[in-house]
Amino acid sequence: RPAEELTIWEDARAMINKARAEGIETVHERLQKQTPHCKFCELGTSCRICTMGPCKITPKSPRGVCGADADVVVARNFGRFVAGGAAGHSDHGRDLIEVLEAIVEGETKDYKITDEDKLRRISAEVGIETEGRDIKDIARDAMECFFGDFGSRKKEVSFLSRVPQKRKDIWTKLGMVPRGVDREIAEMMHRTHMGCDNDAPNTLLHAARTSLADGWGGSMIGTELSDVIFGTPTPSMSQANLGVIKEDKVNILVHGHNPVVSEMILAASRDPEIVAEAKAAGAAGINIAGLCCTGNELLMRKGIPMAGNHLMTELAILTGAVEAVVVDYQCIMPSLVQISSCYHTRFIDTAAKARFTGATHFDIHPHNAYEQATEIVRLAVKAYSERDASRVDIPCEPVEIMTGFSNEAVISALGGSLDPLVQAIAAGDIRGAVGIVGCNNPKFQQDSMNVGLAKELIKKDILVLVTGCVTTAAGKAGLLVPDAIEMAGPGIKKVCGALGIPPVLHYGSCVDNARILQLCAALADALNVDISDLPVGASSPEWYSEKAAAIGLYAVASGIYTHLGHPPNILGSETVTNIAVSGLEDLVGASFVIEPDPVKAAELFDERIKAKRIGLGL
Ligand code: BF8
């Protein structure tokens, strides 16, 4: 298919065409070779859970060898899918606790507690005594508390202290209170073993519980401790698109999710000795740019520019100007190793749990992180001399973006409380808010829905918050700058114009969706209602990953109406599908809605928000 059909972006089109001219395969060619996909897998009706099978459910053979019908098979598959996503986010969160542990135990000089106030604040929230105590003692208690949230000895994860009582009551009634992160994930694996949970609705309730352990547990811990260790984001300006890669500099792209590695690469790139080495090699300096969520982490806290989102990761290397891609984990296509090998690009992996055949491995831990990072940056400097100038093509100039909207930053911009936001919502200037989050998926024209939906919503005076890969999409579309109010309705224009902020706010990485959960909880408390009563929604238009499914489900289970651009692989069960798109509404006050057209999706949000505003008497 022509590049114009695959993506809305000029920089991506140029690189797709370059790949084709150079005979380099990308995700788009591989998708074509994999199409048509297995129908049973698409419907969720193939089962590979035991060796009496594998089975597929058909009209002629409506039960697997064990006797499971389509409902059970689909629910089991979906449950494990969500558990995979919850595990990814939460294991990331655990890595932050381990860094905090290394700080507390004096095992690292490379990391420190940067935001002591935040550590005191979140510790108090989870019941730790903070008054008059040394910060290291508080940190030790926080570390123990959060490690405990992963285990089996608690009745609920600690940040449930942030959940409105009405919501907690719903979860208690449904047996959905998340007790421990690892516990819910392990129990999901247990329940979906042959011969356990053979009742689809019951399996789905536990899938929801597992996702809540992610959103209010693993992800929230990840976000909050990242702020404690690396600083709580404040608004700043940066740039996005492939134009952030600089022809005259040593370019290092950081890719993956956890700021633990990328922050060290950034620090090492500023080491005067290494910068001098880069200059001696003929470069004007060292340039760090982000991809995907670790890019979001550096963008939020340090204003580091964003080279691209998920479907830009292969294409960024095709500029021919990337000396090194340094990865931690998640959403890193293994194809990046092959594409790097077509150029002088060094592909470096850093996590024992995410090794890539053909990569150069650096084993990064809290005690050696900075020293390893300096070696990595030096490798990139060395690679610079091997760059083939005739193959370099940086196809555009970067666009400006505003970033750094943590809840703390928003509250401070509002003068110290959420009241002005509540008033703007009550007055109807801001009619509601929708978080647009998640991925790219080569099954869709890249970013057409991510951008299309954001544009439609702000026109309707619905504030948009973006995280994950939607960030770069919104940024490239010019939506992340204060001037973008010109594309918004009159109410948003008035409120965001007065505050000097964009109508689309960058709220961070995918684990940072926990920030949006916290904001919703605070708004519900301010209005003395449940989260499901708020005029808010969530959307993941172009999602692909297990993590996005976990996010979608914890949003719904938290009472937030959630739109997806395409369904998960559940359509083979009417029972499961009906629960997802309507049954959950009765149980948790929100459900999923599937709509591939961004204009129609915006209309659905509009109707929902209208109804919720009427419900609140607005
Ligand atoms: O966690 S948005 S493609 S990079 S899964 Fe992955 Fe999706 Fe991007 Fe971040 Ni989130």
pLDDT tens digits, residue range 213-234? 999 999 999 999 999 999 999 9
pLDDT the model gives residue 214: 98
- Give me the count of residues in the chain: 618
Residue 101 in domain: yes
293 pocket-lining for ligand 1 (C-beta < 6 Å): yes
Together in a domain, 324 and 367? yes
Ligand 1 geometric centre to CA of 340 (Å)? 21
Let me know if residue 570 belongs to a domain: yes
Check if the beta carbon of residue 257 is closer than 8 Å to that of residue 330.
Answer: yes
Q: What is the structure's pLDDT at 336? A: 98
DSSP 301-355: HH---EEE-GGGHHHHHTTS--SEEEE-SSS--THHHHHHHTTT-EEEE-BTTB-
Q: What percent of the chain has pLDDT over 70?
A: 100
Count CB neighbours of 280 within 10 A: 9
pLDDT for position 49:
97
The pLDDT of residue 66: 98
Q: Which of 360, 391, 422 is the last residue of a domain?
A: 391
- Report the pLDDT value the prediction gives residue 91, as an integer from 0 to 100: 98
Could you tell me the residue range of the domain that residue 18 belongs to? 3-56
Confidence band for 80, pLDDT divided at 50, 70 and 90? very high
Separation of CA 290 and ligand 1 centre (Å):
13
Cβ(206) to ligand 1 under 6 A? Answer: no
Helices (H), 460-539: 470-476, 490-499, 513-527
Considering the domain boundaries, does residue 65 fall inside one? no
User: What number does the ligand 1 atom closest to the CA of 310 have?
Assistant: 3
Q: Which pLDDT score is estimated for 335?
A: 98
Cβ(126)–Cβ(142) below 8 Å: yes
Question: How many angstroms separate the CA atoms of 190 and 127, rounded?
Answer: 32
Do 416 and 468 lie in one domain? The reply is yes
Q: Which of 449, 544, 547, 566 to mutate to test ligand 1, by most ligand atoms within 8 A of the CB atom?
A: 547
ipTM over 0.90: yes
Same domain, 418 and 322: no
Q: Residue 169's pLDDT band (boundaries 50, 70, 90)?
A: very high
Q: Which residues of 475-510 are buried (b: 16+ CB within 10 A; e: fewer)?
A: bbbbbbbbebbebbbebbbbbbbebebbbbbbbbbb
Residue 359, in any domain of the structure: yes
Give the distance (Å) from ligand 1 centre to CA of residue 210: 19
Contact 264, 340 (CB under 8 A): no
Q: How far is the CA of 556 from the centre of ligand 1 (A)?
A: 19
**CA atoms of 486 and 484, how far apart (whole Å):** 5
Residue 25 in any domain: the answer is yes
pLDDT score of 2: 97
| pLDDT for res 138 | 98
pLDDT for 151:
97
Cα–Cα dist 484/603, whole Å: 21
Residues 196 and 265 placed together within one structural domain of the fold: no
pLDDT of residue 48: 97
In the block, residue with structure tokens 């599937």: 594
Instruction: Output the CA 510–ligand 1 centroid distance in Å.
Output: 6
A 10 A CB-CB count for 386 gives: 11
209 lines ligand 1 (CB under 6 A): no
Q: Are 289 and 304 in contact (CB under 8 A)?
A: yes
Q: How confident is the model at residue 191 (pLDDT cuts 50, 70, 90)?
A: very high
Residue pair 551/511 in contact (Cβ under 8 Å)? The answer is: no
Q: Give yes or no for a contact between 247 and 398, defined as CB atoms under 8 angstroms apart.
A: no
Hey, which residues does 327 pair with through a beta bridge? 255, 349
Kindly state whether residues 486 and 536 are assigned to the same domain.
yes
Ligand 1 contact via 291 beta carbon (within 6 Å): no
The predicted model gives 416-423 an average pLDDT of: 96
User: Does residue 516 belong to any structural domain of this protein?
Assistant: yes
Sequence-distant (6+) residues with CB within 8 A of 336 are 255, 313, 314, 317, 325, 327, 347, 356
Instruction: State in Å, rounded, how far the first CA of the chain is from the last one.
Output: 48
Count CB neighbours of 258 within 10 A.
25
Tens digit of each residue's pLDDT (9 = 90 or more) over 474-496: 999 999 999 999 999 999 999 99
Structure confidence at residue 101 (pLDDT): 98
Same domain, 361 and 438: no
* Contact by Cβ (8 Å): 97, 147: yes
Of 135, 127, 156, 141, the C-alpha closest to 97 is 141
State the total domains in the chain.
Answer: 4
Which of the listed residues 201, 230, 259 is the one where a domain comes to its end?
Answer: 230
Q: Are residues 420 and 351 in the same domain?
A: no
For residue 136, the number of C-alpha atoms closer than 13 Å in the C-beta half-sphere is 6
Rounded to the nearest angstrom, the distance between the alpha carbon of 292 and the centre of ligand 1 is 6
Residue 300 to residues 41, 78, 468, 507, Cα–Cα distance (Å)? 38, 32, 11, 8
Cis ω on the peptide bond leading into residue 596 (within 30° of 0)?
Answer: no
Q: Tell me what the mean pLDDT of segment 532-551 comes to.
A: 98
Ligand 1 atom having least distance to the Cα of 89: 1
Same domain flag for 568 and 601: yes
- The answer to whether position 142 is within a domain reads yes
pLDDT average, residue stretch 584-598: 98
* Predicted local confidence at residue 221, as pLDDT: 98
Mean pLDDT confidence for 87-107: 98
CATH code for the domain of 588: 3.40.50.2030
**pLDDT class for 94, splitting at 50, 70, 90?**
very high
Residue 232: predicted pLDDT? 98
User: What pLDDT score does 251 carry?
Assistant: 98
* Mutation probe of ligand 1 site: the residue of 309, 310, 540, 543 with most atoms within 8 A of C-beta: 310
User: How far apart are the C-alpha atoms of 77 and 263, rounded to whole Å?
Assistant: 36
CATH of the domain at 159: 1.20.1270.30
pLDDT at residue 290, rounded to an integer: 98
Residue 493 CB–ligand 1 contact under 6 Å: no
Q: What is the DSSP string of 88-101?
A: HHHHHHHHHHHHHH
The predicted pLDDT at position 46 comes to: 98
Tell me the mean pLDDT in the region 79-98.
98
User: For residue 537, is it within any domain?
Assistant: yes
Kindly report, residue by residue over 277-336, the tens digit of the pLDDT: 999 999 999 999 999 999 999 999 999 999 999 999 999 999 999 999 999 999 999 999
> Do 539 and 517 sit in the same domain of this protein?
yes
Please report the pLDDT score of residue 167 as a whole number.
Answer: 98
What is the distance between the alpha carbons of residues 276 and 618, in angstroms, rounded to a whole number?
Answer: 61
Choose which residue among 292, 306, 544, 551 to substitute to test ligand 1 binding: the one with the highest number of ligand atoms within 8 A of its C-beta: 292
If asked whether residues 559 and 414 sit together in one domain, one would say yes
Give the residue from 171, 205, 230 where a domain finishes.
230
Q: What band does 123 get if pLDDT is binned at 50, 70 and 90?
A: very high
Domain co-membership, 607 together with 471: yes
In this structure, are 364 and 422 located in the same domain? no
Q: How far is the CA of 135 from the centre of ligand 1 (A)?
A: 34
Ligand 1 within 6 A of CB of 550: no
Burial class (CB in 10 A: 0-12, 13-18, 19+), 16: buried
Which mutation among 297, 331, 515 tests ligand 1's pocket best, with the greatest number of atoms within 8 A of CB?
Answer: 331
Ligand 1 site, residue 331, Cβ cutoff 6 A: yes
Mean pLDDT for all residues in the chain: 98
